[in-house]
Structure 1
Amino acid sequence: MDIGRGHPTSRANHTGHDGNKHYALETKNGWRHGELKENRLYRDFFLHFDILIMMAIFLVVLGFLVTMEISLFSLLFFAVGIVTYMFSEYLTHRFLFHIKSPKNPFLLNLIKRLHYDHHKKPNDLKLLFLPIWYSAPNLFVLCLLFYFITGSMSSTLAFTTGILFMFFVYEWKHYVAHRPMKPKTRFGRWLKKTHILHHYKNENYWYGVSTPFVDVLFGTYKEGNDVEMSETAKDLEKRA
């Protein structure tokens, strides 16, 4: 796992210029070095209700997959599932979660739970994970569509496994970005830095959580110093 506990002396390494004040929130919330033990950090992730349900779904899908003949095509469709999730994650984050504030009260409350409130309270554990009532139906629809296209159950199961694998990568990377954890690899630190910039510098960039490569493709990846501070990064309801 790409994990390490954060050190106060390493705060500046996670941010660009003008974006390095976010770690002050860690102090306000009691996130000082050593305060949260590593086993507590793991437990908060792996025993979270929504993660447990998605893990159960993953094990069921994987169980069906291993009973079927696995070929190179299975690996191919597993990879297709990974890439599909990467693009779905980016497009959903950019065009759905950052949609202009709906006037309909029900839709507003829905998008607030899915994302707006997370920007207001980025480190709130209750708002950190995608709710199961959102994740599971989306997974079902996406995989059902794939089955209609291919007509193959084994290919669909491999595709679904890839989707779920990348889902857990997304949730873990997102979790690490908002918890007092210092990634051990340069790539992990880069991921954390870009997501922190998205929350505390400018919400119009750095939409990718599991990987910023899709941001590079669509032009929403910038160096922190090249982007101006946004006044609505923590309050998406105020976006025009």
Structure 2
Amino acid sequence: MTLGELIVAYFQHYTIIAYLALTAVAVALYTQFPASPLGTAAAFAAGVIVYPLVWHLLHQYVLHGKWMWKSKWLSPTWKRIHYDHHQDPNDLSVLFGALHTTLPTIAVATVPIGWLIAGPGGALAALTAGLLTTCYYEFMHCIQHLSFKPKWKWVQHMKQRHNEHHYFHENGNYGITNYFWDRLLGTYYEKKDIPKRSPTVFNLGYDEEVAKTYPWVKDLSGGIASGHPRRRAMAEAKKAEAQG
């Protein structure tokens, strides 16, 4: 995949269209409730700065927590927003975040701090920052999962760390565009620093034993897959060929 093909596919996805449309709405509302230039700049900067920390904490303690699957009502959300993504990191249908979870999160993370800094105009500026930062995160996430080979060293570094999170050990490297908070909070690693692959890197700890008590994710998934997704696909293809 070329960079041009990646950009075209990215801007055609409905979530990116939604984020950009909401950004336009926020900007239009800002013209009706403006803040001072300094307040606007401070609120926008706060929105940009707070996002990586919020994402890291949500990624580590919510998406990789072991509590959502215990609820019949929360397990479908957890399955959609992260379990499916780790089951098969190349499944493009779940590559982008689900709007019903991302939009409230962006608003809660940015609007209050923007309001405290510069009132309604600051809230809109911070929300705009959150929406645009999310677009940037999703673009980098596409680079990390699609068959695109970045030429820039810093992007290669990010892609390598993220691939290690998906294919080697899920308990670390929670960042997407930078690993500042991973380094600060002690969750940064490189493959050479970990003795062996995590046995739960693809199922996040949700296995057959867990499913006996909390069956809802298994029921929604039609079973529990284990092992590398490429090997699973090959095994399923061979099974289908044998049956055919």
SS in 2 for 1:106: coil
Query: In the alignment, which residue of structure 2 is the partner of 1:43?
Result: 8
TM-score, normalised to structure 1, is 0.78
Amino acid aligned to 1:64: L
Residue-pair matches, total: 205
Query: In the alignment, which residue of structure 2 is the partner of 1:65?
Result: 30
Query: In the alignment, which residue of structure 2 is the partner of 1:183?
Result: 150
Q: 1:230 and 1:238 mapped to 2: Cα distance?
A: 13
Shift, 1:130, TM fit: 0.6
Q: What is the correspondence of 1:27-106 to structure 2 with a 5 Å cutoff?
A: 36=1, 38-65=3-30, 68=34, 70-100=36-66, 102-106=69-73
Q: 1:192 and 1:70 mapped to 2: Cα distance?
A: 39
Amino acid aligned to 1:192: K
Q: Select which of 203, 208, 222 maps to 1:235.
A: 203
SS in 1 for 2:177: coil
Write out per-residue CA displacement over residues 190-216 of structure 1, whole angstroms, 9 at most, x where no aligned residue: 111110010011000100012111111
SS in 2 for 1:207: coil
Query: In the alignment, which residue of structure 2 is the partner of 1:207?
Result: 174
TM-score, normalised to structure 2, is 0.76
Bigger radius of gyration:
2
Write out per-residue CA displacement over residues 157-179 of structure 1, whole angstroms, 9 at most, x where no aligned residue: 22112212211111111111000
User: Which structure dedicates a bigger proportion of its chain to helix?
Assistant: 2
Amino acid aligned to 1:90: H
Task: Kindly report the root-mean-square deviation, in angstroms, between the aligned alpha carbons of the 2 structures.
Answer: 2.1
Please tell me whether the aligned partners of residues 137 and 177 of structure 2 are also in contact (alpha carbons under 8 angstroms).
yes
SS in 2 for 1:41: helix
Distance 1:195 1:149, change over 3 A: same
SS in 2 for 1:172: helix
Q: 2:177 and 2:28 mapped to 1: Cα distance?
A: 25
Distance 1:70 1:181, change over 3 A: farther
- Aligned sequence identity (%): 31
Query: In the alignment, which residue of structure 2 is the partner of 1:145?
Result: 112
Q: Select which of 178, 194, 211 maps to 2:161.
A: 194
Query: In the alignment, which residue of structure 2 is the partner of 1:162?
Result: 129
Q: 2:38 and 2:117 mapped to 1: Cα distance?
A: 16
Distance 1:39 1:187, change over 3 A: closer
Structure 1: where are the runs of 5+ without partners? 1-35
Q: 1:37 and 1:222 mapped to 2: Cα distance?
A: 29
Write out per-residue CA displacement over residues 61-94 of structure 1, whole angstroms, 9 at most, x where no aligned residue: 1233356355133222211101111111101100
SS in 2 for 1:112: helix
Comparing both chains, which one has the higher relative contact order based on Cα–Cα distances under 8 Å and sequence gaps of 6 or more? 1
Please tell me whether the aligned partners of residues 113 and 123 of structure 2 are also in contact (alpha carbons under 8 angstroms).
yes
Distance 1:99 1:193, change over 3 A: same
Please tell me whether the aligned partners of residues 115 and 123 of structure 2 are also in contact (alpha carbons under 8 angstroms).
no
